[in-house]
Amino acid sequence: MSVTDRSWWRRLLVLPPIAVGIAMLALQIGGRETPEQVPAREIARPVRVISVTPGDFVPKAVGFGFAAPGTVWNATAQVSGKVIERHPDLEPGKLFDAQTVILRIDPVDYELAVAQIEASIKSVEAELAELRVREDNTRVSLDIERRMVALAEDDRSRKQKLLHRGDVSDSSVDEAEKTVLNARQKVQDLENQINLLPTQRQVLEATLALNRAKLSDARLDLERTVLALPFDSRIAAVHVEENQFVNVGTVLVEADSIDVAEVTAQVPMEQMATLVRRDTDLRHYSAAEIDQFVDRFGIKAHVHLRTGQIAASWEARMDRISPAIDPKTRTVGVVVAVEEPYRQAVPGRKPPLMKNMYVQVDLIGQPWSERIVIPRVALHRTPGGHRVYVADGNDRLLILPVTAGPAQGDLVVIEQGLEAGERVVVSDLIPAIDGMLLTPTMDDDLARRLREEAARPAVDEQQP
């Protein structure tokens, strides 16, 4: 058998196994049962829901800022001279009571000035006393001279009568007339002197008043040689040493008050809007009355420090609002005040609220009653507005348009669109198809936490 014949027979040997395989496949297919036809059914999506209940919503705002002393005193030299005394503890960081003398400037020149002016005052007072005596004496002399005039006139009248009878000469009458004129001249001189006395008195009194003013100024300069703290203070900086000569206007010491600390916290405008009453009409109020509305809003404040292992809180009062919006952050500057920040310190636990501490400020407004709140995750933003997913009475998805109010933390207030008792879906639902079947499960723990967060009167309740 040739090689070609052997190759052909080998190909034929493949056919029997193929035929057997086809037969077995046909046998298996022929014996299989027809698949059972099952009718199509809807699959429910499991979701978590909460039942919304109106309750109190306490609006809150959070800001951050640096603490600063309520009052900063720059001790400026009001007189020049050499510093002859400096308090031994006058160093930055030291605390002092009010009225503590911290510096003295050499008072010798100012004491001499006071003595000189006091001597000038005594001299003018003596001149005034002399003037009063002179006036009294002049008035007495005037009375005498007036009587002399009267006597001279009587003598002249007698001599004129005697002249008519030829008993006296003309020269005798002339002499009597001369005597009258001399007496009248003396009266005139004395009257002129008396008339000038008020002017002299005014000049002396003006000089006395000027000297007294100079004395007050000199005594004030003498008092200014002693520098005492006007309030309980913490020294921030010292710029002078003992025996150093200082000029007027030189800043000697910088001191911070410790009775009040202020924090200017930058608060987002949308958060501040929730803290004020919306029914307030300010059109008919004066500027001072508008300023008082900060107190009428009843906003409470708390200051918190969180750094490392240190946690501290202080009650504060809202004092005022900054005059302008921050152009970079678009936030409102709210100034809150903490009373006695140093005396509230607890050694080892709570530090004083010191200058330049970076702190958190929580502002708490008056509660809003009967408000519906939901988690932020349950509010969905769409091109047409906000939507909320609700499970209806048939456990089917209902997509409701709502009006959202302020958002705070993990919750948001719903102004319109939801009613009490409705079941809001709080699970991720993708895709969300209106009318789809749901298997809702009540999340009572989330609903409870939501109500507690909405009504909680502070953003951060932790205490040191």
The letter for the amino acid at 268 is P
pLDDT for residue 6: 55
Contacts of 142 (CB under 8 A, 6+ apart): 187, 190, 191, 194
User: Residue 12's pLDDT band (boundaries 50, 70, 90)?
Assistant: low
pLDDT averaged over the chain?
85
Mean pLDDT to the nearest integer, 139-168:
80
Q: How far is the C-alpha of 274 from the C-alpha of 58, rounded, in Å? A: 9
Q: For the segment 284-299, what is each residue's pLDDT rounded down to a tens digit?
A: 667 776 666 666 777 8
pLDDT at 103 over 50: yes
Are the CB atoms for 48 and 389 separated by under 8 Å? no
pLDDT of 461 above 50? no
Q: CA 446, 452, 455, 460 torsion: positive or negative?
A: negative
Residue pair 369/58 in contact by the 8 Å Cβ criterion? no
Is the pLDDT confidence value at 118 over 90? Answer: yes
Residue pLDDT, tens place only, 43-81: 889 999 999 999 999 988 899 999 999 999 999 999 999
- CB-based contact 259:95 (threshold 8 Å): no
SS3 192: helix
CATH topology of domain 71-106+225-257: OB fold (Dihydrolipoamide Acetyltransferase, E2P) (2.40.50)
CATH architecture assigned to 48-57+368-455: Beta Barrel (2.40)
Question: DSSP labels for 266-322?
Answer: EEEHHHHHTTS-TT---TT--HHHHHHHHHHTT-EEEEEEEETTEEEEEEEEEEEEE
Q: Give the pLDDT confidence score for residue 409 in this predicted structure.
A: 82
Give the residue-averaged pLDDT of 154-158: 80
Domain formed by 260-364, architecture: Beta Barrel (2.40)
Domain ranges within the chain, ordered by starting residue: 48-57+368-455, 71-106+225-257, 109-223, 260-364
Helix, strand counts (H, E) of the chain: 7, 23
How far apart (Å, rounded) are the C-alpha atoms in residues 143 and 177? 20
Q: Which of 452, 445, 383, 372 is nearest to 412 (CA)?
A: 372
pLDDT of residue 445: 92
Q: What is the pLDDT of residues 173-185, one digit of tens each?
A: 778 788 888 888 8
The values of phi and psi at residue 79, to 5°, are: -135, 155
